Structure 1
Amino acid sequence: MNIAIVGYGRMGHEVERALTARGHTVSAVVDPVSPSDGSADLYDEVSPRALGGCDVAIEFSLPEAIVSNAKAYAETGCPAVVGTTGWLHQLDEVRAVVEASEIGFVYGSNFSIGAHIFFAVSRYAASLVRNIEEYDLLIHEMHHREKKDSPSGTALTLAQSVLDVVPRKRRIETGRLDRAPEPDELHVSSSRVGSVPGTHTFTMDSAADTIEVRHQARSRGGFALGAVLAAEWIVGRTGFHSVESFVQALLHEGQGE
């Protein structure tokens, strides 16, 4: 496939390595700042010209451009995989653009297949202690010092999935605590240090013991591979899909269903 990379930072370079390893071609790079290595045409913005000849686009960019980018994908008929975070307050607007055009669109904060297995295991573990108040719950995430937002989108996704199965936890607290947490709060804490690609830990703690479920990314390669797999999956499909629905389809296919 011919794939456009939208956003040529660290993740964009990882996506390039992953798609090349799977036999695909980078047909265009869209980034107003980072230069291409010269093997693909470079563009400042997502446009029909940039997307011409592309089978699909993979975007890890800035949230400010999400609506205009979605309109360009729709105008061109180019399906897209979007790992950009920080734009979910515009979800309905982007969904409307996608559904009116009948292109395929996959979005999410984390395209690592292993991370989604971690979500499923953590959610199931949380459901086991939903009525056992002796177990309190905590989520902690750790990333490299260059990451500009906290907590991570992955941590917030995990937190919401825990709230969905543990009724006694009704709200997510992400701020610095200078008080005892309320019983109905799920505290999500963050650390920024060094070059950690991403570590997420779900903790269930009681006076008797501590149970932890952890996902530790060794590199950005897992996120990039997941995005490329999503790109392969969305070509030929239409509709507005979360990364969770893509991963579920992928895992079910792996089970022969």
Structure 2
Amino acid sequence: MKIALVGYGKMGHMIETAAKSLGHEVVVTVDVAAKDASALVSAGDYAAVAEAVKKSGAEGVIEFSHPSAVIGNLNALIPLGIPVVVGTTGWAKNEAEISSLLEKTNGVAMRSSNFSIGVNTFYKIVEEAAKLLSEYSEYDVAVWEAHHNQKADSPSGTALEIARRVMKGNSSKTEMVFDAFHERPKANELHVSSTRIGSVPGTHTVFFDSPADSIELTHRARSREGFARGSVVALEKLVAKLASGELSRGKLYGMEDLF
């Protein structure tokens, strides 16, 4: 497959390596700062992003840019009609807008806060644990995550998805709190806290705590290579399922739709 990469930072370079190792051709790399990108565009010039991708003849796009640019990129890329896989996080509040654009243009996109198979398995484990322990009021629950100090958003998209899974399993938790507490937390509040330090690729822990004992579930990434390879596999599956008719155009999909 001919693949366009929009965002050519550390993750973009890893995705390029993964794509080539899986037998694909990276036909264009687009970025606003990376001097080795094949298409260097000005910040905010989303028309130039779309033009570079269109000229490349790409059959699929992987977007791993920045939270401040992702919506502009998607608004420019989706009308091209090329399947888009989105790894940039921090735009959950705009999903309805993007879904509407996909429906209007008959485009197709897939987004995930984390393409790791291990993380997606972890989501299911957390949801089941939350469901089991929700029967016992003495168990409280909280979510914590740590990432490298270059990460632009907080909490991570993965932490937000973990929190959603906790709330799905435990209906007594109805509100996420990201800030520090200055009073006792309410019973319905789920604390989701973040740490940014050094070069940590990603650690996520869910705590279940009672007066008698504590349970900790942790996923710890060793590197970001799994995320890079996973994004390429996601694009492969998205294109294949569109071709087979398992998925239809005009929609925004997630990992659960592909794997």
Common topology (TM > 0.5): yes
CA deviations on 1:54-95 (whole Å, 9 max, x unpaired) are 010000112343344234333322110011112222222211
Residue in structure 2 matched with residue 26 of structure 1 by the alignment: 26
Q: Is 2:199 aligned against 1:199?
A: no
CA deviations on 1:4-43 (whole Å, 9 max, x unpaired) are 0100111111111111111111100110111226xxx324
Q: What amino acid maps onto 2:179 in structure 1?
A: G
Q: What amino acid maps onto 1:26 in structure 2?
A: V
Q: Is 2:252 aligned against 1:241?
A: yes
* Per-residue deviation, 1:215: 0.7
Residue in structure 2 matched with residue 4 of structure 1 by the alignment: 4
**CA contact 1:74–1:101 (8 Å) conserved in 2:** yes
Residue in structure 2 matched with residue 255 of structure 1 by the alignment: none
The correspondence for 1:185, drawn from 189, 193, 205, is 189
**4+ runs deviating over 4 angstroms:** none
Residue in structure 2 matched with residue 46 of structure 1 by the alignment: 49
Does the residue aligned with 2:195 lie in a helix, a strand or coil?
A: strand
Change (3 A) 1:49 1:167: closer
TM-score (norm 2): 0.88
CA deviations on 1:75-118 (whole Å, 9 max, x unpaired) are 32211001111222222221122122223210122111211100
Residue in structure 1 matched with residue 84 of structure 2 by the alignment: 80
**CA contact 2:147–2:195 (8 Å) conserved in 1:** yes
Residue in structure 1 matched with residue 44 of structure 2 by the alignment: none
Residue in structure 2 matched with residue 36 of structure 1 by the alignment: 36
Residue in structure 2 matched with residue 253 of structure 1 by the alignment: none
**Counterpart-to-counterpart distance in 2, 1:30 and 1:202:** 37
Aligned positions of 1:204-215 closer than 5 A: 204-215=208-219
**Counterpart-to-counterpart distance in 2, 1:16 and 1:184:** 43
**CA contact 1:135–1:205 (8 Å) conserved in 2:** yes
Does the residue aligned with 2:49 lie in a helix, a strand or coil?
A: coil
**CA contact 2:33–2:40 (8 Å) conserved in 1:** no
* Per-residue deviation, 1:176: 1.1
Q: What amino acid maps onto 1:100 in structure 2?
A: K
CA deviations on 1:188-223 (whole Å, 9 max, x unpaired) are 111111110000001111122111111111111111
Structure 2, unpaired ranges of 5+? 42-47, 243-248
CA deviations on 1:118-143 (whole Å, 9 max, x unpaired) are 01000000000112011110111011
**Counterpart-to-counterpart distance in 2, 1:140 and 1:182:** 18
**Counterpart-to-counterpart distance in 2, 1:229 and 1:239:** 21
The correspondence for 1:138, drawn from 142, 151, 169, is 142
Q: How many percent of aligned residue pairs carry the same amino acid?
A: 42
Does the residue aligned with 2:201 lie in a helix, a strand or coil?
A: coil
**Farther-moved stretch of structure 1 (142-151 vs 63-72):** 63-72
Aligned positions of 1:71-150 closer than 5 A: 71-150=75-154
**CA contact 1:105–1:240 (8 Å) conserved in 2:** yes
**Counterpart-to-counterpart distance in 2, 1:12 and 1:225:** 11
RMSD (CA atoms) = 1.7
Q: What amino acid maps onto 1:242 in structure 2?
A: Y
CA deviations on 1:145-170 (whole Å, 9 max, x unpaired) are 22232211111111122112212212
**Counterpart-to-counterpart distance in 2, 1:198 and 1:230:** 20
**Counterpart-to-counterpart distance in 1, 2:72 and 2:198:** 34
Q: Provide the aligned length of Structure 1 versus Structure 2.
A: 245
